[in-house]
Chains A and B, each alone.
Chain A
Amino acid sequence: MARKMLRDGETEAYDYDLFVIGAGSGGVRASRTSAGFGAKVAICELPFHPISSETIGGVGGTCVIRGCVPKKILVYGSAFRGEFEDARNFGWELSEDINFNWKKLLNNKTQEIQRLNGIYKRLLTNAGVTMIEGEGKLAGPHEVEVTQPDGSVQKYTAKHILIATGSRAQRVKIPGEELAITSDEALSLEELPKRAVILGGGYIAVEFASIWRGMGATVDLFYRKELPLRGFDDEMRAVVAKNLEGRGIELHPQSTLTELSKTDEGIKVVTDHGDVLVADVVLFATGRAPNTKRLNLAAAGVETDKTGAIKVDEYSCTNIPSIWAVGDVTNRMNLTPVALMEGTCFSKTVFGGEPTKPDYKDIPCAVFSIPPLSVVGLSEQQALEQATSDILVFTSSFTPMKNTISGRQEKTVMKLVVDSATDRVIGASMCGPDAPEIMQGIGVAMKCGATKKQFDSTVGIHPSAAEEFVTMRSVTRRLTVGSKI
C-alpha cells in the first residue's frame, strides 16, 4: 500500500523518501520501520569509536556504544564484589586475594559493542536502508549535506528528513575542567582509578559511583541537592543514598567542585566547602546536551528551545513540515525505549498512513545503581501535585531473603501510589535487587490502568521479592488533596 502511494506521489523528484541523520536507537528504528512501509531510506552516521565527538560516533548510537549497554556490562562486572561478600555466609570460602583485571573486562566489553555495532549495520542493510558514513547537516527543507571522512561533501535530497543525532555529555565550566572526564571516557578508561571523584546527582553519577566502588576504588560523590536522583520519589532517593553509603561510597550532598588542578599525586579537587581531595579520575556527570550545534538548522529554519533541543509537535514534526526529529535531540524523555517508540510512531505517521503519537504516560525506567532503582508512573510527590482525590500510599521495606543469610544490611523498599477515587495504581517504585526486571511487568499492568484490587487479586510467586507488590494489604499513609508531604 505504502509503496504504491509513494510511487504515485512526487517522490521521484527526491533521491530518497527519507533521509535520517544519526543511526542511534531512534534513527535506526525509524529507518527500518519506514523501509518496512516501502519508503526509500538513507541514513548517515559518523565513523565508529567508543568516545564520541563532533566527528566520531558509530552505528548503534549512545545506547549501544556509550550508554545503556556498556554501562550495564560494567555494572554486571562490578556487582560481583558484593556477590563474593555475600557468598561467605552461604558457606563459600574464597581466597583473600581476588583479582580484578580491568583490561580484560574492557576488552570483552569493546568486543561485545563491536559485535552489536555490526548487528545494527546488518539490520539496516537487511531492511534495505542505504548507509552513508559521514557528518550530516541540513542544507534546506529537503536537502542534506554529508561530509565524508575523506573530506568530500555529498548532497542528497529527500522528501522527509529525520534528525536523530542524540546528545552528548556536558562539562562544567570551572578552572581545570579539561582534567575531568565524561561518561564517554569513563566507559573506556585505560586504567581503573583507585580514587574517583564524581560530580552530579543524576542516574549516570550514581551508576558510575556503584561501578567504581564495586571494582574497588574509593568514590566521592558530590551533588547539589540533599539527595541524589532529583525527580524520583523522595523516599526512594533516600533509600538509594543510604545504600550507596552502605556500600562504601562517600556522599557529599549540597556541595560542588570549584577547581581542578594537576599534581604529581593526581588531580587536586577543591570543593565549594573548601575541602581538598586528590583523585585519579574526576567524572562530570552533570547532564547531557542535544547534538544540534553543527546541524546547520538555520539552513532550513528549524527551531530549537533554550537548551538547544529541537522543538517538535506531538508527532515529532519540527516547525518545518518536511523535517522531523526523535530521541534525545528533542530532549523529551531521554531513554532508548522512548526513542524507539518515537521512531516507530514517526514511521507510522509519515509512511504507514497511520498518524500515531508517542504516549509518554507510565513509562517505566531504571537506575542501575547497586542495588538498582526502578520506577513507573508517578512519584508520591507528583501524585499529590496532580491529585483530585486522596492518595493512598502503600510501602513495604523488608530484608531480602538472600540477606538473611549473607548478613548484608540492606533493605528492599517498594511503594505503590494509588488514587483513592478510582483505585488505580498510578505510581510504583522499587529499590532492591532485580528491581528493573520486576518493574517491567508492573509497568504492563499499570499501562492499562490496573487497580489496586487487581494487584491484590493476583496470587504471589513465592518466595520472590516481587510478590510483595501483590501483598501490600494495609495503607501506610493517606494523603489528602492539597496537603504537603
Chain B
Amino acid sequence: MATSLGAPRLSLSPKTLQALRRTLPLSFSKSLHSKPLLRPSISHSPILLRLPRRRRLSSRPSASAGNNSAAASSGGDNYDFDLFTIGAGSGGVRASRFAANFGASVAVCELPFATISSDSTGGVGGTCVLRGCVPKKLMVYASKFSHEFEESHGFGWSYETDPKHDWGTLIANKNAELQRLTGIYKNILKNAGVTLIEGRGKIIDPHTVSVDGKLYSARHILIAVGGRPNMPNIPGIEHAIDSDAALDLSVRPDKIAIVGGGYIAVEFAGIFNGLMSEVHVFIRQKKVLRGFDEEIRDFVGEQMSLRGIEFHTEESPQAITKSEDGSLSLKTNKGTVSGFSHIMFATGRRPNTKNLGLEDVGVKLTNNGAIMVDEYSRTSVESIWAVGDVTDRINLTPVALMEGGAFAKTVFANEPTKPDHREVPSAVFSQPPIGQVGLTEEQAIEEYGDVDVYTANFRPLKATVSGLPDRIYMKLLVCANSGKVLGVHMCGDDSPEIIQGVAIAVKAGLTKAQFDSTVGIHPTAAEELVTMRTPTRKIRRNSSSDEVSLFKRTYLLFLILTCWANVLIYILTQEKVKDAVKSTT
C-alpha cells in the first residue's frame, strides 16, 4: 500500500505537472531539507517560463509556478509522502489541503468519528466541527429562541401555551448536521488528493509515523492533534461531565452546575439557561472570563444574571457526591450545593500530546504539555511541525487555519510565512455574546500609558419595545499620542458579527479619526462604534499634560530612577541591618 500511495495524487495532477516533475532538476528537492528561508526560489526558472499556459494553471490559481518544487521532490527519494499530518481537525485539514494544492503528496490520519473524544475516538473535522464551535453555536441558536419568545411579547405576539422544548429533536438534528459536516470535510480532503487514513498516529522517528502498527515515511510530519477538556482530580469527578458530553446529552438537565469561568463555561451557562435548565455557575474568581476587559467581564456577568443564571463566585470545587436518588452535590470551599442532575467542568483544555511518541523522537514540550514551536510552527525536530491547539498559542479555529496555511506556504510553496498572532479578533457566544479585538484597557494602559477610553452603554432599540433589560456595552481604546485604535470590545446582540469588520480596520492600524469619518448605518447597534465623540476618560501615565517636553520626560525618568535607587539602597541597608541583627542574636 504505502509504496503505491503516490499514485492517487498523480492521477489527480494534470499531465503537464507530471512532465514538470521529470524536467525539474533534483537539486530543488534536496533544498527542502534546509531552512525555509534559504530555499531557492524557482519561480523564475526558465523551464517554467517556457511552459505553455494551460487551463490547469488558471483553474488552480494556488498552484503557482514556485509551488511545484515540492511535487518535484517526491520523485527522487524514498518517502511515501511529502507530508504526513496527524490529526484532521481545522489546522490539519487546512495544512494538508494547501500542501496538496501546492503539489505535495499528503496523507492525514484521524481517529474514528465519535461525538465524544478520547484516546481512540475523534473524527475528521476535529474539535471545531464535532465538539466545539459548530455544535456549540447550533446549541446557542436553539437556546436563544427562548429569549426571542420573551422579546416577542412586547412586539404584540402571544401564544395559547408557552413554547416547550423537545431535547431529543435538537440533539438528533444537531448530530445529523455533524455527520453531514464530517462527510464534507472528508470530501474536501479527497478532492484535494489527500490520502485519509483512519487510526491513531504515533511518531516513530523524524520521518516515520505509525498508524495502528502500519508504518508510513514522510519528508515532513505535521502534528495537529488538538486539545481535550481537562478536569481536576477531585473526589467524585467521575460523576462530572466535560464539554464533549455536554454537547451530546440524551436528556435536558433539570439543574446543572457549571464549574469554571472561562468562555466555555459562560457559553454553556447560556445554552442550558435558554433551554430552560436551572443553571449555577461556580467560579474561582470574583468575575467570569479572566483575561478579558474588566468592564466587559462585569457587564456580561450582570446581563447573564438578569437572564436567570446564578453565579457562585470565589468558590473552588472540592468534591462531588451522588445521593441515593441519583442527584449530585457539589462541595466547595464555601459549602455544598445539592440537587444537581448534572455537574459540568469547564476548567480548561490540555494539548493531546500523550502517547504520540514525541519524547522518544526529541520533540520538546512546554510545561503544560504543549509542543514548542518556532515562528514558522517548526518543532525542535527539523522535519516535524505542529499547528493548532496542540501548540497552545491562541486556541481558536481561525488561528489554526492561519497556522496551517502558513505552514503549507512555508514548506511547500517556497514562501516562508509566519502566522501573525497580533490583533486576532475573537468572540464568546455567551448570551449576550462578546466580540473583541486588540488590547484590553488594562493591556493598553500597560503598553501605551496614555490611553483615551471611549465607552457606550445603551439600551438597544429592540429592548425599548420588548421591555427586557437587555443592554449593549462598547469600548474603544485609543492611543492618546498616535490616535491609533488599540482595542475594541463589545458585549450585546450581534457583537461577534459586528466586530469582524472592525477587526479589519484595527488590523490595518486605523485611527480614531478614521473611525469617526465613517458614516453610520442607521438604525443599527454597530453605528455607535463610529459615533463615539467624547472620551469617557483619559488615562495618562503621569498627571502632567500630554505635551511633556523631552527634557521634562528625561528629568522625570531621572527622578523616578533616583527615587527607586534610594528605595533600593534603603532596602538593602535594611537587609544588612537585619542580617547584622540576626548574626548578633
Enumerate chain A interface residues (CB-CB to B < 8 A): 63, 68-69, 72-73, 76-77, 80, 83, 86-87, 89-95, 97-105, 108-109, 112, 115, 335-338, 340-341, 359, 362-366, 374, 401-402, 404-405, 434, 436-445, 447-448, 450, 454-455, 457-467, 469-470, 474-475
On whether the beta carbons of B461 and A444 are closer than 8 Å, the reply is: no
Among B45-53, B151-159, B568-576, the one that faces the other chain is B151-159
Instruction: Please tell me if B163 contacts chain A, counting CB pairs below 8 Å.
Output: yes
Please name 10 pairs of A and B residues whose Cβ atoms are closer than 8 Å in the assembled complex, sorted by A.
Answer: A92-B163, A94-B163, A109-B465, A437-B525, A443-B530, A458-B504, A459-B402, A461-B425, A466-B496, A466-B501
Bound together, the chains give a CA A405 to CA B178 distance in angstroms of 11
On whether the beta carbons of B496 and A90 are closer than 8 Å, the reply is: no
| Interface class of chain B by DSSP | helix
* With A98-B157, A436-B524, A459-B425 as contacts: A341 and B507 at CB distance below 8 Å: no
**Smallest CB separation, A127 vs chain B (Å):** 14
Instruction: Please tell me if B160 contacts chain A, counting CB pairs below 8 Å.
Output: yes
Bound together, the chains give a CA A450 to CA B518 distance in angstroms of 13
Residue of B nearest to A465 (CB): B497
On whether the beta carbons of A444 and B510 are closer than 8 Å, the reply is: yes
Task: Point out the residues of chain B lying under 8 angstroms from A73, CB to CB.
Answer: 155, 461, 465
Instruction: Please tell me if B238 contacts chain A, counting CB pairs below 8 Å.
Output: no
On whether the beta carbons of A447 and B156 are closer than 8 Å, the reply is: no
Contact among A93, A434, A460, A470 for B494, CB-based, below 8 A: A434
* With A448-B510, A460-B500 as contacts: A98 and B159 at CB distance below 8 Å: yes
On whether the beta carbons of A462 and B396 are closer than 8 Å, the reply is: yes
**Smallest CB separation, B155 vs chain A (Å):** 4
On whether the beta carbons of B402 and A91 are closer than 8 Å, the reply is: no
Residue of B nearest to A456 (CB): B504
User: B156-187: which have CB < 8 Å to A?
Assistant: 156-161, 163-170, 173-174, 177, 180
Residue of A nearest to B464 (CB): A112
Task: Point out the residues of chain B lying under 8 angstroms from A86, CB to CB.
Answer: 145
Bound together, the chains give a CA A437 to CA B460 distance in angstroms of 13
Question: Beyond the given A112-B465, A436-B526, could you list 6 further A-B residue pairs with CB under 8 A, ordered by the A residue number?
Answer: A93-B166, A97-B160, A99-B160, A105-B465, A438-B500, A439-B501
Contact among B128, B156, B170, B521 for A364, CB-based, below 8 A: B521
Residue of B nearest to A376 (CB): B521
* With A69-B523, A93-B166, A95-B161 as contacts: A83 and B465 at CB distance below 8 Å: no
* With A94-B163, A440-B529, A450-B505 as contacts: A108 and B519 at CB distance below 8 Å: no
Contact among B133, B159, B169 for A95, CB-based, below 8 A: B159
Task: Point out the residues of chain B lying under 8 angstroms from A104, CB to CB.
Answer: 156
Smallest CB-CB A-B distances: 4 pairs: A441-B501, A466-B500, A440-B526, A91-B170
Size bracket of the B interface: 35 or more
**Smallest CB separation, B125 vs chain A (Å):** 13
On whether the beta carbons of B501 and A469 are closer than 8 Å, the reply is: yes
Instruction: Please tell me if B89 contacts chain A, counting CB pairs below 8 Å.
Output: no
Contact among A365, A460, A462 for B521, CB-based, below 8 A: A365
**Smallest CB separation, A292 vs chain B (Å):** 24
Instruction: Please tell me if B549 contacts chain A, counting CB pairs below 8 Å.
Output: no
Bound together, the chains give a CA A127 to CA B219 distance in angstroms of 72
Among B72-80, B109-117, B134-142, B347-355, the one that faces the other chain is B134-142
User: B422-448: which have CB < 8 Å to A?
Assistant: 423-427, 435
Bound together, the chains give a CA A87 to CA B167 distance in angstroms of 12
Contact among B167, B168, B177, B502 for A444, CB-based, below 8 A: B502
Bound together, the chains give a CA A362 to CA B529 distance in angstroms of 17
On whether the beta carbons of B137 and A470 are closer than 8 Å, the reply is: no
Task: Point out the residues of chain A lying under 8 angstroms from B543, CB to CB.
Answer: none
Bound together, the chains give a CA A475 to CA B527 distance in angstroms of 30
* With A437-B526, A440-B527 as contacts: A374 and B157 at CB distance below 8 Å: no
User: B502-523: which have CB < 8 Å to A?
Assistant: 502-505, 507-508, 510, 514-515, 517-523
Bound together, the chains give a CA A338 to CA B62 distance in angstroms of 42
Bound together, the chains give a CA A143 to CA B163 distance in angstroms of 62
On whether the beta carbons of B519 and A93 are closer than 8 Å, the reply is: no
Task: Point out the residues of chain B lying under 8 angstroms from A77, CB to CB.
Answer: 155-157, 465
Task: Point out the residues of chain B lying under 8 angstroms from A95, CB to CB.
Answer: 159-161, 163
Residue of B nearest to A375 (CB): B521
Bound together, the chains give a CA A91 to CA B499 distance in angstroms of 30
On whether the beta carbons of B500 and A469 are closer than 8 Å, the reply is: yes
Bound together, the chains give a CA A448 to CA B484 distance in angstroms of 13
* With A87-B163, A100-B156, A441-B502 as contacts: A448 and B508 at CB distance below 8 Å: yes
Contact among A68, A448, A458 for B522, CB-based, below 8 A: A68
**Smallest CB separation, B18 vs chain A (Å):** 24
Instruction: Please tell me if B241 contacts chain A, counting CB pairs below 8 Å.
Output: no
Residue of B nearest to A72 (CB): B523
Contact among B160, B161, B401, B498 for A438, CB-based, below 8 A: B498
On whether the beta carbons of A463 and B155 are closer than 8 Å, the reply is: no
Task: Point out the residues of chain B lying under 8 angstroms from A341, CB to CB.
Answer: 519
Task: Point out the residues of chain B lying under 8 angstroms from A475, CB to CB.
Answer: 61
Contact among A337, A437, A445 for B504, CB-based, below 8 A: A445
Bound together, the chains give a CA A4 to CA B520 distance in angstroms of 33
Task: Point out the residues of chain A lying under 8 angstroms from B427, CB to CB.
Answer: 461-462, 464
On whether the beta carbons of A441 and B498 are closer than 8 Å, the reply is: yes
Task: Point out the residues of chain A lying under 8 angstroms from B141, CB to CB.
Answer: 90, 401-402, 405
Bound together, the chains give a CA A163 to CA B308 distance in angstroms of 51
Task: Point out the residues of chain B lying under 8 angstroms from A72, CB to CB.
Answer: 461, 523
Residue of B nearest to A64 (CB): B523
Of A103, A338, A440, chain B has the most CB atoms within 10 Å of the CB of A440
Residue of A nearest to B528 (CB): A440
On whether the beta carbons of A374 and B461 are closer than 8 Å, the reply is: no
Task: Point out the residues of chain A lying under 8 angstroms from B499, CB to CB.
Answer: 441, 461
**Smallest CB separation, B393 vs chain A (Å):** 12
On whether the beta carbons of B398 and A101 are closer than 8 Å, the reply is: no
* With A440-B527, A465-B497 as contacts: A63 and B522 at CB distance below 8 Å: yes
Task: Point out the residues of chain A lying under 8 angstroms from B465, CB to CB.
Answer: 73, 76-77, 105, 108-109, 112
On whether the beta carbons of A366 and B524 are closer than 8 Å, the reply is: yes
Task: Point out the residues of chain A lying under 8 angstroms from B504, CB to CB.
Answer: 441-442, 444-445, 450, 454-455, 458, 469-470
Task: Point out the residues of chain B lying under 8 angstroms from A76, CB to CB.
Answer: 155, 461-462, 465
On whether the beta carbons of A105 and B156 are closer than 8 Å, the reply is: yes
Residue of B nearest to A76 (CB): B462
Residue of A nearest to B494 (CB): A437
**Smallest CB separation, A356 vs chain B (Å):** 11
On whether the beta carbons of A462 and B128 are closer than 8 Å, the reply is: yes
On whether the beta carbons of B166 and A91 are closer than 8 Å, the reply is: yes
On whether the beta carbons of A460 and B529 are closer than 8 Å, the reply is: no
**Smallest CB separation, B542 vs chain A (Å):** 29
* With A89-B173, A461-B398, A462-B128 as contacts: A444 and B164 at CB distance below 8 Å: no
* With A404-B177, A405-B174, A439-B521 as contacts: A101 and B156 at CB distance below 8 Å: yes
* With A440-B530, A462-B133, A462-B397 as contacts: A445 and B156 at CB distance below 8 Å: no
